[in-house]
Chain A
Amino acid sequence: MMNLSEALKSHEKKILALWTERTLDTYVSSGFFKKSLDPFANPVGANIREGLAQLFRLILAGADSQEFAGPLDQVIRIRAVQQFTPAQAVGPILELKWVVRQILSADKNCRELLPDLAPFDRDVDRAVLQAFDLYMECRDRLHKARIRELKSGSYILTDSGCISALIRDNLREVAQTAQTTEGSAAEKA
């Protein structure tokens, strides 16, 4: 009889197909995202497909969860700027549990393995927590970019003149203050 790892490996194709399909179904018009395999013509579809596949293989191989970062980034960086709630953005990672159960229970030789899924589930949990960290990092980066653009925005440029000039004025002021301080020190002496 197959063990769980063998079962997951032998059903890899089906699992990935269903997982990718369900994830891409979260887009309103997903036909093209599912169909086109060109990574440059179809960045959402191709990155999600590749990211999920890699993540699944890493979990199967018992990889250290640190290694999940790359494939998770491929999926989450995209979903963090699309119109999803945080839960919807990271949801597809968790969905793997459901997908695996669907596929395994459809095969009568594999049904008995379902109770053995606990360690697999824990890996998925680790991945989803990491995905949430990544989601927050992406959002944080976005807000910082927004602040940076605001700060370099028109009001600064129109109301306070050239940055080079400000730096130069500042240096001049510092130099003058230093001179004055030296001067008064000399006077005291």
Chain B
Amino acid sequence: MAVIKKDELARSVVEDPTLMTGSMPDKDWTEIPAVFKPGNYAYTTKPEKLEYLNSQQGVSFPNARAWNPEDEDWKLPPNWKEIIIKGLADRLDRFRSLKIFMDCCVRCGACADKCHFFLGTGDPKNMPVLRAELLRSVYRQEFTLAGKLLGKMAGGREMTVGVLKEWFMYAYQCTECRRCSVFCPYGIDTAEITMMLRELLHLVGCGINWAMEPVSNSNRTGNHMGLTPQAFKGNVEFLCDDIENLTGVRVNPTFNRKGAEVLFITPSADVFAEPGIFTCMGYMLLFEAIGLDYTWSTYASEGGNFGLFTSNEMMKKLNAKMYAEAKRLGVKWILGGECGHMWRVIHQYMDTMNGPTDFLEVPKSPATGTVFENAASTKMVHISEFTADLIKHGKIKLDKSRNAHVKATFHDSCNPARAMGMLEEPRYILNNVLEQWYEMPENTIREKTFCCGSGTALNTEEIMELRMRAGLPRANAVKHVYDKHGINTLACVCAIDRATLSTLMDYWIPGVSVAGVSELVGNALVIEGENRQELTEGLRTLL
């Protein structure tokens, strides 16, 4: 046999495959502990935020303290285990869905390879079935006869600090996007299992600041950023100035106006952060074009509801604020902007939590007379449903050539797609405002859409790598249409998407920007009396 020229080659590199990790699991999943390192967990809730929330009516967030997931000691309350088991018993009793989800999984594995966190990490505990098993194993041990008698043999597992740490790790590596549920033959909503895990963790004071600070701000001033009514109004008015400079159209929105026909609520990010502000300009131009009688509220100044990512009670409270404002202002119905999870709360939980909204009317478009029967119960219409109806009835004039700079694809935001089934309206709008746009591959759109990877309050910078790997399946499909058709814009109808997909694109496919569908509508709108500048970048043009 020939001898390798050792002097030419680094022997270790050639002869040993040592640089590879070869990380095939050699232990059962229950024996692999969660290890917290900088970058793989989001920062914990600031004690003062939790103390404030715990002092508020209708919600409970006990055990506020400073603690660090990397420390061995999480400073849990002495009776933490009792709290958790009691908390689980209470929830099994209150939520029939949870009880069913705990019992009915047959571990067929249909969900296993559908989660973007699993697809981006290869970590088996990110398979939805195994993530649920983290809770299910404790459920079996404590609440089923087989588990009580046979323990591990029946798939049961003792609730230990290690298990709690695992919960914290993986409940915050799930964006509750519900893609896995689409493939589950039993329709198990794994998002609700994550919601329960997070609720249980809150009982012992374990949460993340990126969720709890916005929740605390929303509870206090009405929006995630804690903007005061004056600041909120000021920001909207600055956008009006920008609109006037660009289009020559002066829009004059009103705030907290009693007796308006419609209350308009959108994520606060649309009011103050790029690229959402361009979407917001689009809304206001559209309302001006049809002369909509609407008002903003500086108290219900947030469509987003991080309560959904926190606890049932918190979600209920933040959602109630929108309806309380609608009642106070005496509007007929509510029009909602491009938000993701706001629509999940509205469609799946609102009616049970805060319904019936009998003080409002079934939404009817003043421009077309269309009655939105789909919103007969919630009294809240999505801006894309509203816009598509206007287009269908020829009530607005659109010039596609004004979007000549845009070559788009469309990302179905998880919640509008899977939680409210709004699949066609945004596409219909895009057909009417763009010369051309391209669909991503079939198994990555509509109800099978991939999450941005940063939803449910995971859009924080300390877990940037985690967000990038979770967003890979989405980015990978965008890359396909980018390579094939040269798209430069990723359109969507969600404020979290607008923020997080911008960063995701910047990493995976530099050169692709993110735009709200309403921004593209605003670009194309022809308004009577306008004095439009040469807007080569639409509403983003810098004059």
Give residues in A with beta carbon < 8 Å to B. Answer: 22-23, 25-30, 32-33, 36, 38-44, 47, 77-78, 81-84, 87-88, 91-92, 94-95, 97-98, 101, 105, 111-115, 117-118, 121, 138, 141-142, 145-146, 148-150, 152-154, 157-158, 161-162, 164-165, 168
Contact = CB atoms under 8 A, between A and B. Distances in A.
Interface of B: 1-5, 8-9, 13-17, 19-25, 40, 112-113, 118-124, 127, 213, 224-227, 231, 234-235, 238-239, 241-242, 272-274, 441, 443-444, 461, 464-465, 468-469, 472-473, 476-477, 480, 503, 506-508, 510
Q: 8 tightest CB-CB pairs across the interface, nearest first?
A: A27-B122, A91-B19, A43-B476, A29-B124, A81-B468, A164-B238, A146-B461, A81-B465
17 contacts: A22-B17, A26-B23, A32-B118, A39-B480, A42-B113, A82-B122, A82-B465, A83-B121, A88-B19, A88-B20, A91-B19, A97-B13, A111-B1, A118-B8, A154-B225, A164-B242, A168-B238
A28 to B, nearest CB: 5
Contact of A118 (B5, B24, B127, B234): B5
B17 A149 contact: no
A114 B13 CA distance: 15
Given A25-B23, A145-B464, A146-B464, A164 B239 contact: yes
A148 B443 CA distance: 32
B465 A41 contact: no
A165 B238 contact: yes
A98 B123 contact: no
Select the residue from A23, A25, A44 with max chain B CB neighbours within 10 A: A44
Nearest to A92: B20
Given A78-B472, A98-B16, A157-B225, A28 B124 contact: yes
A87 B19 contact: yes
A121 B14 contact: yes
A112 B4 CA distance: 10
B24 A28 contact: yes
Contacts of B473: 40, 43
Given A29-B122, A30-B122, A158-B227, A95 B25 contact: no
B443 A82 contact: no
B122 A121 contact: no
A154 B268 CA distance: 12
A30 B127 CA distance: 12
A84 B465 CA distance: 11
Contacts of B231: 158, 161-162
Contacts of B17: 22, 95, 98
A162 B5 contact: no
A138 B468 CA distance: 11
A44 B241 CA distance: 46
A30 B24 contact: yes
Given A32-B112, A44-B472, A145-B503, A157 B22 contact: no
Nearest to A46: B476
Nearest to B24: A25
A114 B2 contact: yes
Contacts of A28: 23-25, 122-124
Contact of B119 (A43, A84, A95): A43
A161 B234 contact: yes
A27 B125 CA distance: 13
B20 A105 contact: no
